Each structure stands twice: as structure tokens, then as C-alpha cells.
Structure 1
């Protein structure tokens, strides 16, 4: 798909998702316990549970969730800049931590949760307010009883890679 068609598709995807999302908030522990990770994240995507407040703060939304996969989309702006005139690395790190952690969550049964133990980010090129929409795509590598591993990538509509990451997560009962 050419970049203009990709941009149009991404804009349509985001426009379709945003109105159905619940206001930012935090789900209860019971709401987390009673659903598998995939069911929990689908409930967020379909407006049955609140979206994470960090998404509102950094202007990103869930776009797609499936077994072992989580995609967020955001558009970095000048409000995300560091003092040297580019988007702060924490913006990319947050999107990557979100997509890889949620990818792990999609594989967990009801009653299980996770926490990031380690996040390794490689920055390839700077994000700016001219980058346009980006997608952070997380994919599971392995999920065990106590440890899970996933990888993530941030790309733009041209397919350019901006950053990639790996994570190790601790899996535990909630």
C-alpha cells in the first residue's frame, strides 16, 4: 500500500475507534480477574472498560488486539518535545512498553497479570511533530508460567522504523 493510502487507512481506523472508547480511567481488580487478558483488552477497545489515562496524556489509542498482538496508534506533537527540539524518547518508550506489555497480556488466562521487569529500547530515528501518525506494534515471543517475552516496533505510514524494543515481563496471579 502506498503511504498516502496507508495514511488514509490509519486515519479511518483511528476515527472508527476513538468514539467508542470509554473515558480514561482504571479498571477494578475484579474486572481484571474475571477476564482473560484478551477479553480484558477487547473490553477496553470496545468501550466496555476505561482506556488507560496514559493514552490520553500522550495521545495514543488502541487500534487492534489479538492473541499475541497489540497495536497502538498515536501522533506525536510539539507537546511531547524535549528541550532539543524533538519528541522525547520517553514517548516512544511508553508506546513500546504499552504495546509489548499488552501483547503479553493477550496471552494470559483470567486471574493472571503481568508487570514489566525489563524494557530494552533502540532508537533508530527521531520523532517530530512532522512525523504524522505512528503505530506501535507488539508481538509475543514466548509466554511461560512466570516469565513472558515480547518485541515491539514503531513505524510510520512509510514503513520507516523509529524505534524497536524487547521486554521481559513477570507473570503472576492477580
Structure 2
């Protein structure tokens, strides 16, 4: 089975994870490595840079609901989803973005058609201008509201875990 690495911009909302599900359904003949990326300018003071931790920043940006939704998707698609990881992009120009894509061996970028940037952090920035100018294949996906399907999947997953516990 063919393997693809896909970059998806994220604002750490559960709604943004619908693009992950779209990428998985579009690429049903591939194993995927998906990199969820958020644009953040690094601090510019020496002290802040010395104390900077990407791991801590990512933990602060994630909500419990977002983390649980990522785990649910990873569990549901474990046979085809090789990796679902989070990262930040902190470059200032198109060249830095292209280098980031090359370093992470990105094959495609999946982005929403109904993009409305919502900063998640005081230093967040919109990555879409970089994405639109990139030479990497861009797949535009219509983002849907989190609705009944998502709630049903979450309830099925919860039911699976709780029924397993009750039989012990």
C-alpha cells in the first residue's frame, strides 16, 4: 500500500479535524502520515527564547476535547493512519515554508475552502498565504460542522470502552 504524508493547518478546534477525516476518505487506498500544523511566531526576546518549549506550547494549545478527538480518529483509522502528529511552523517567509515542507517530506496539503483564521495564541499567524503560494499539491476540502455523525462515533467509542470495562 502506498504511503503519503499530508499537512493540514489546524486551529486546534475539533471542527478542524473534519479535514483529517476527509483526507482519510479521499485516500482510501493509501496509508497516511498526517501532520497537523499551526503557525506561531517565536518569541523575540532572548529570555523567552531560552525558556521556549515547543512541547509545552503544543500542550497549552490543545484542548481536552481536541486531544480526545485526535485519539478517537487514530483508533478508528489505525490500519491506515500511520501517524497523526502536531507541530508548529514558525517561519517568516515562503522559502522557510517550502523548506519545512521538504524537511517533513510533505506530499500534499489539505486545507479548508471556508477558511476563517482564528488565532489560538497571541503569536498565532495565518498559514494560508504560504499554503496558497506553495508548489506542493493543495487539496481544498469543505469543512463541515461537527454534528450528529461525530457525536455518534464518539458515543460508539465510549460504548466500546465502557462495555469492555463492565465485563471485567
Q: Which has the higher contact order (CA 8 A, sep 6+)?
A: 2
Q: Which structure has the highest strand share of the two? A: 1
| TM-score, normalisation: structure 1 | 0.24
Larger Rg: 2
More helix by share: 2
User: Taking structure 2 as the reference length, what is the TM-score of the superposition?
Assistant: 0.24
